[in-house]
Amino acid sequence: MISKKDLLIQTNISYGQLYRWKREGLIPEEWFVKTSTQTGQETFFDEDLIIPRINKILDLKDEFSIDDIKNILNPKPSDIVFSIQKLKELNCFDEKIIKKLVDKTTDLNVNETVILYALSKARQDIDKYFYKIKFDLTLSDFKNFDFANAKMALVSKKREGYIIFYNDSLIASDNELEIKFYNLKDLEQELLEIIKKASYKN
């Protein structure tokens, strides 16, 4: 953590600039952490987030409008495109899943990335319950998939695991057992938070 006083000295910006960027939405309000100290109340920041953000704003402010800078710093999910390298940098995707489903030259939209994230999250359960896992899908099937009420389920059948995506309730036959299900909308929000934090540092 870095204090507001030290931040202003290190970045050579003024108190007014800092709070103007806050009002303009360039610096998230939740980054301003007020903490009680022996001398009263002081404001602190996560140094790994605030320093790169201020440097980025300083680099952009003479060339772009405030609205343009906001869009650069906080891109809409629908506008985000991921390369394989970018996915690996997020450190939350299983490389075996990526290798199986993604062509090295393919760029993915958010929907496709959420599916990879869901499968990566499920990998631990797959290894725990099944000798092998089968899923017959391509990421392009999910390019425009609606996650609003969608779930992903791990289903066991004769010690083989199957991954099923569904929008309504899943009914398993007598020789099938639903091991675990994942709410894709929740995973989408979780992933977007990871993406947002990563973008703060860029």
Domains with residue ranges and CATH for the chain: 2-74 (1.10.1660.10), 79-200 (no CATH)
Confidence check: pLDDT of 130 > 60: no
| Strand residue runs (E) in the chain | 2-3, 33-37, 40-45, 132-134, 151-157, 160-166, 177-183
Segment 67-83 mean pLDDT: 74
Segment 54-82 mean pLDDT: 82
pLDDT for res 103:
72
108-112, 118-122, 139-143: least confidently modelled range: 139-143
| CA pair distance 63, 23, nearest whole angstrom | 20
Segment 78-91 mean pLDDT: 77
pLDDT for res 31:
92
Q: Nearest 10 degrees: CA dihedral of 11, 13, 16, 19?
A: -30
Bridge-based pairing state of the strands 132-134 and 160-166: parallel
Which is more confident, 11 or 40? 11
The answer to whether the beta carbons of residues 111 and 192 sit under 8 Å apart is no
Residues 161-198 have pLDDT tens digits of 666 666 654 444 445 566 677 788 888 888 877 877 66
Residues 9-18 have pLDDT tens digits of 999 999 999 9
Write down the mean pLDDT value for the chain: 77
Sign of dihedral through CA atoms 14, 20, 22, 25? negative
pLDDT for res 131:
47
pLDDT for res 20:
94
| CA pair distance 172, 86, nearest whole angstrom | 37
| Percent of the chain with pLDDT strictly greater than 70 | 66
